[in-house]
Structure 1
Amino acid sequence: MATYSVYFAGLSLTTHQKFTLAQAITKIHADITGAEAYFAQVIFKSLDMHDCFIGGVLLNEPHIFLNGQIRIGRSEQIKKQLLVELEIAIQTTTCLAGHQIWAYIDEITPGQMIEYGQILPAVGDDGVWFSTLPSSIQKKLNYLNS
């Protein structure tokens, strides 16, 4: 239900750093939104510094750009808390300064999302949605959540 795309330029992230950051993003999302951990996915993409511009000027220092797509229906306070805690996790994992981290939260209507072969439920209807999944998918999601 949440996809966090982490674009990074001017630095190299190790597999361990990616794992650590993916775990942190997943935990932050689950803790703050109340959604199960299996609803969060994290995707990493390395960018060439020569492909990144800010204000029309070529990027001259390492940056991370995080774009989180979540279901619509969460309060402004929750979205702000997500952003702050995600930035802290990125800083902790990468040692980048705050001005080198840009983060965004986009909201999508659940009816415009499909995961695990099913249209996603509204915020708060996760349990009902889960109960309609095939048992093999439920088993997989329970494993991911553990």
Structure 2
Amino acid sequence: MPLYTITCAQDLLDDAGRELLATGITDLHTRMAGVPAEWVHVIFQDFPPNHGFTAGRRADVVAMTLVIREGRSPEYKETMLTALWRLLQEATGAADDQIVIGIQEVPPSQAMEMGQIMPDVADA
């Protein structure tokens, strides 16, 4: 179920960089959540040069959204965010003021994977 979407300027990450980041995210998520690697999905979306803005000024913004099942502790999510920040910064070289990461949580009953409604986090 975990779905990571990374949005950044075109050519910020080449194929090898995307693969390395996707592998790092998958390894982190499987280690922390104890789920199979097949459940971890990473999608990259690129935008054209000069299409990213911070404070109304053009910037090479790097954004990551993570959709997960609800039920994880605040400490778990803080640890996850900190590790993801490091991975994203290492892969892109983006400055702290140009990285945005957000976690969106959905009830397990509102998510499907491999044709099945997802179980509660406690049951997985």
CA RMSD between the two structures: 1.6
Amino acid of the residue matched to residue 100 of structure 2? W
Please point out which of 63, 72, 75 is paired with 2:70.
72
Q: Per residue, is there more helix in 1 or in 2?
A: 1
Conservation of the 8 A alpha-carbon contact between 1:10 and 1:61: no
The number of aligned residues is: 124
Cα offsets for 1:89-124 (capped at 9, x unmatched): 111112222222110011001110111111111113
Moved over 3 A (4+): 49-55
Amino acid of the residue matched to residue 89 of structure 2? Q
TM-score, normalized by length of structure 1? 0.78
Gap change, CA 1:10 and 1:46, over 3 Å in 2:
closer
Identity of aligned residues (%): 31
Give the 5 Å matches for 1:1-146: 1-9=1-9, 11-55=11-55, 57-58=56-57, 60-126=58-124
Instruction: Name which structure has the greater RCO, CA cutoff 8 Å, separation 6+.
Output: 2
TM-score, normalized by length of structure 2? 0.90
The gaps in structure 1 that reach 5 residues or longer are 127-146
Conservation of the 8 A alpha-carbon contact between 2:53 and 2:59: no
Question: Which of the pair has more CA radius of gyration?
Answer: 1
The gaps in structure 2 that reach 5 residues or longer are none
